[in-house]
Chain A
Amino acid sequence: MALTAQERLYRGLVSLFVGGVLVAQAATVPFTAVRNDVIANRLYPIVAYDMYREPHDEGERVDASWTLEAVQANGKAIELTCDMLKMSIWDWKRILRFASQGDQANGIIPLKELVRQRAPGAEEYTELRVSSLPIRVTRNGPETIPSKVLITIPLVHKETGTP
């Protein structure tokens, strides 16, 4: 049966949608294959499905999260949690990961800002310490190991300009 002009137009639009989305999704695979994260969420909702992609080995430290401590002038250290800073676990992990790598823009600056705005008694802190979790993976499950301080971030208060 011959198609009407309206049907031909509809089929064309649908074909464009179906073909476009499937080809775009397939086109992410070569980028993933060479470990190129350039797509990330730029073309959202077309994304690379690269969750849980990193291999891990026996004895590796579990970088599930990091410990954040705020140090007062008298040397007393207080642990800050993502709940205390009213952050989701995802942002907490992301910002602390960047901060532990010394990344100013994505880690240290937003972390200092969040602590300044949200941590109880923030004006008393002189520095922040980011430490690794004291856990590693073994054949028999998790095992505790000593924690390591990854970075120390000095805090300068806006009002006084001094620690």
Chain B
Amino acid sequence: MGQPITVTVNGEQRSAEVEPRLLLVHFLRETLRLTGTHIGCDTTHCGACTVLLDGTPVKSCTMFAVQADGQQVTTVEALAAGGTLHPIQAAFKQEHGLQCGFCTPGMMLTSVALLEEKKDPTDEDIRWALSGNICRCTGYMNIVKAVKSAAATMNAQAAVPAAAAAVRS
């Protein structure tokens, strides 16, 4: 009854035989023991289970694991590449964008996807992009601040190699 799948999770190929009904979030949490992805509502509303599927935020409680076969999944565990915090992680801490921490992984991943698309998002852009991720603790004020701060950091980081390239040319 198991169906073989291979999913690239955080850059690593992971193969397993799974029940067709197994949700992606359960595949991540139970099969792979990546427990940073949380379950908050089961109905696609809260976004605690948000992961990136080929770079796009998806709610992993509303996808079957078999639907991710052959694709790339990124979870919170991959954000700090090589041990260095991603700017969004650093900004969430610096701006007090989290309290209980339960929504935080999903919030950060949705934010990362937003910042890939929009380098300089407005408050409204951020609030709209995050409107599928519920936070019960922070009232969103500091989350919005954190995303803006991460954008500034990422833009500054991008500007450094660009400036270096300009000097070279």
User: Do these two chains really belong together in a complex?
Assistant: no
Residues of B whose CB lies within 8 Å of any CB of A are none
